[in-house]
A and B are shown apart, each in its own frame.
Chain A
Amino acid sequence: MVNFIRSIKWAFRSFFRHFGLSLVTTIIITFSLFSLTLLLFLNIVGNIIVKNLQNRIDVNLYLKENLSQEEIESFKNSLAKEPEIKEIIYISPEKSLEIFKEKHKENELILKSLEILGKNPLGGIIILRAKSIESYPLIIEKISNPIYDKFIQEKDFYEHEKIISIVKRISQKIYFAGIGIVLIFTFVSIIAIFNSIRLTVYAREEEIKIMRLIGATSGFARTPFVIENIFYGIFAWLINLGVFFLIFKFGLEKILSFLEIEKNLFLSYQQEIINSFLAVLVFSILLTMICGSLAVRKYIRT
């Protein structure tokens, strides 16, 4: 216990006595952690964008004009039983007309034609949203069942099918590319951090050798350096956290509006963002600890 407390004290003292060296190492680690965090963050943003697109995808069912309210309700109820469907939105013929008029308020010809027609030519619309993007083909297959023909005038999903497959492809690509890039960046970070720690330890080679020559055990000689390296990792992480805090505080609105992401949707990923920062902290501590231990090993053999 005495030795461990002493090691922490030495590590702390050494961190400040070799401040220049500590600062350079911390900055290098910070850059690595920043790149890694940014990448994890971009991965989350990628997922949010995909989710956002998914939310915009739906299947529109244009209902027949002569359906009674009971029939519409019974159709809605049978749709609600489908496990793939997350949400069913019903728009009445009156509301449809209202939306249609609003949409074409600049087009006098259309408005005039409606007037000449004298009645509402639009039926109700049912909008379906799936639980996941993978469910759309199944929903489309189910609503194509002839038993629903008596309710449905027209289905609007052919274009959606294309979008669905594109979004699905993009989301898969983002996922795999994300993993690949994170792995590459992690590897580059490990190399950068290991080399910077190796230089730090190299500068203290004499001290380690002296420790060994005057009777320090290898564990005792190693511990203060490993702890000092963990300090670099923690400080680098704190700086990284501070930088992201400033980015979030002053730039989040602009970033979200640029990416056309709703703030609430972004905030629903809060836990993932916190987890990413914690993962980077664990990565930083483990890496600096292992790198420090490996870098010291060479000089401990004396």
Chain B
Amino acid sequence: MIKFVNVTKFYPPDIYALRDINLYVKPSEFVSIVGQSGAGKTTLIKLLMAEERPSKGKIIIGDWDISKIKPSEIPYLRRQIGIVFQDFKLLKEKTVYENIAYGLEVIGARNKFIKEVVPQVLRVVGLEKKYKRFPDQLSVGEKQRVAIARAIVHRPKILAADEPTGNVDLINTREIIDLFKKINEMGTTVILVTHNREIVNYLKTRVIILEHGQIISDQPEGRYIL
């Protein structure tokens, strides 16, 4: 599904964000990528989203080598990947419904399809009664659930989450992680970037540990051992 082959990301003059990363993620797998700040976790997600290009090596998604992806092809890559950010990146002036529908509207989905799918996704994330609210009228956990709903509404094959529980309290963290598990059970590959020890130990799925831009551990049912 996702293959990183000898991937290095170098920022001049002398910063190696990632160094010789070799990684294979199977379809429908749940992978947690952990590490301290500056370990290269976010860079990995940025490479996956083609926000950054690798300085060396290849990144392959399906059969698609995205290392040298053309700018015009990037939107089509991103439509295969749902992305969740720590700061939610919701549009304040749009309602919950509009924020979720936005994920479909920007890729040119028809209105009829949007009207069918958005209520279903609202039910998956448990916000069907709050669809008219604006982000400022939601709790932090609810905001993150809206962001997740927007990320999965177009049914991506991959869901990448960059520190999705960084701003969320413990109870909401558990709910969000359960939501990711649920999405994964529906067949979506989930890549979770976190430095939260509790989450990783709770998930009991594959854990990749990064340190100074290099993989120092890759356990199929790992624990956070740093």
Contact = CB atoms under 8 A, between A and B. Distances in A.
Interface of A: 2-3, 6, 14, 17-18, 206-207, 209-218, 220-221, 302
A91 B78 CA distance: 88
B105 A6 contact: yes
- Interface residues of A, dominant DSSP: helix
A217 B75 contact: yes
Q: How large is the interface on B (under 10, 10 to 19, 20 to 34, 35 or more residues)?
A: 20 to 34
Given A3-B108, A220-B108, A206 B89 contact: yes
Given A17-B93, A206-B89, A207-B91, A214 B108 contact: no
Contact of A214 (B76, B110, B111, B150): B150
Interface in B89-145: 89, 91, 93, 102-103, 105-108, 110-111
B183 interface: no
Most chain B CB atoms below 10 A, which of A2, A209, A215: A215
Contact of A213 (B76, B89, B93, B111): B89
Contacts of B71: 218
A216 B110 CA distance: 15
Interface of B: 49, 51, 71-72, 75-76, 78-79, 83, 89, 91, 93, 102-103, 105-108, 110-111, 150-151, 154
B106 A216 contact: yes
A217 B179 CA distance: 29
B49 to A, nearest CB: 7
Given A6-B105, A302-B51, A216 B111 contact: no
A2 B103 contact: no
B91 A2 contact: no
Most chain B CB atoms below 10 A, which of A2, A206, A209, A213: A213
A214 B83 contact: yes
Most chain A CB atoms below 10 A, which of B108, B111, B151, B154: B108
Contact of B103 (A17, A214, A221, A302): A214
A17 to B, nearest CB: 5
Minimum-distance CB pairs A-B, first 9: A216-B106, A215-B79, A215-B78, A217-B75, A17-B93, A215-B75, A215-B107, A210-B89, A3-B108
Contact of B111 (A2, A209, A211): A2
B218 to A, nearest CB: 27
B90 to A, nearest CB: 8
13 contacts: A2-B110, A209-B89, A212-B75, A212-B78, A213-B89, A214-B103, A214-B150, A215-B75, A215-B103, A216-B107, A218-B75, A220-B108, A302-B51
A215 B76 contact: yes
A17 B49 CA distance: 30
B78 A213 contact: yes
Contact of B106 (A17, A18, A215): A215
Nearest to B90: A210
A221 B79 CA distance: 14
B49 A213 contact: yes
Contacts of B51: 213, 302
A221 B75 CA distance: 11
Given A3-B108, A218-B71, 9 more contacts: A6-B105, A211-B106, A212-B78, A213-B83, A214-B151, A215-B79, A215-B154, A217-B72, A218-B75
Nearest to B108: A3
A214 B91 contact: no
A206 B85 CA distance: 13
A256 B150 CA distance: 62
B93 A18 contact: yes
B76 to A, nearest CB: 7
Contacts of B154: 215
A214 B93 contact: no
Nearest to A301: B71
A211 B150 CA distance: 11
Contacts of B76: 215
A21 to B, nearest CB: 11
A3 B108 CA distance: 6
A302 B52 CA distance: 9
Nearest to A302: B51
A210 B93 contact: no
B108 A2 contact: yes
Contacts of A216: 75, 106-107
Contacts of A302: 51
Contacts of A14: 93
A248 B83 CA distance: 57
